């Protein structure tokens, strides 16, 4: 089963911006309770959308430059990238069905 890849400030451009197809990036931190609630949903979606959407995680404590660049002020924040551009944003916990609708929209 596909798992989200850990992305850093150093490889964000190659892993996310240059990726083929949509990429959902989970901005999180280990101390964040809602982040721990979102993580299993993101992992389930990574399996369900394997081969269609790439899933990535950015630890904002360890990679502050990417978080600042995209204006991440609250975590968890999920950014959906398509062709190197952020096309959708989700702040805070959302149900799996809501995230699926957003992914399906990006794929259409």
Alpha carbon distances (Å) from 34 to 14, 39, 43, 56, 70: 28, 9, 15, 17, 20
d(CA 87, CA 80): 6
Beta-strand runs (E) in the chain: 5-6, 23-28, 54-59, 77-82, 85-91
Catalytic residues: 32, 35
């Amino acid at each position: 089963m596909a798992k989200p890849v850990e992305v850093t400030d150093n490889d964000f451009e190659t892993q996310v911006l240059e990726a083929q197809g949509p990429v959902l990036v989970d901005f999180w931190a280990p101390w964040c309770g809602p982040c721990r609630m979102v993580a299993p949903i993101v992992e389930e979606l990574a399996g369900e959308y394997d081969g269609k959407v790439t899933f990535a995680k950015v630890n904002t404590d360890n990679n502050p430059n990417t978080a600042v660049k995209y204006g991440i002020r609250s975590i968890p924040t999920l950014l959906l990238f398509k062709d190197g551009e952020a096309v959708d944003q989700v702040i805070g916990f959302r149900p799996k069905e809501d995230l699926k609708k957003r992914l399906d929209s990006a794929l259409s």
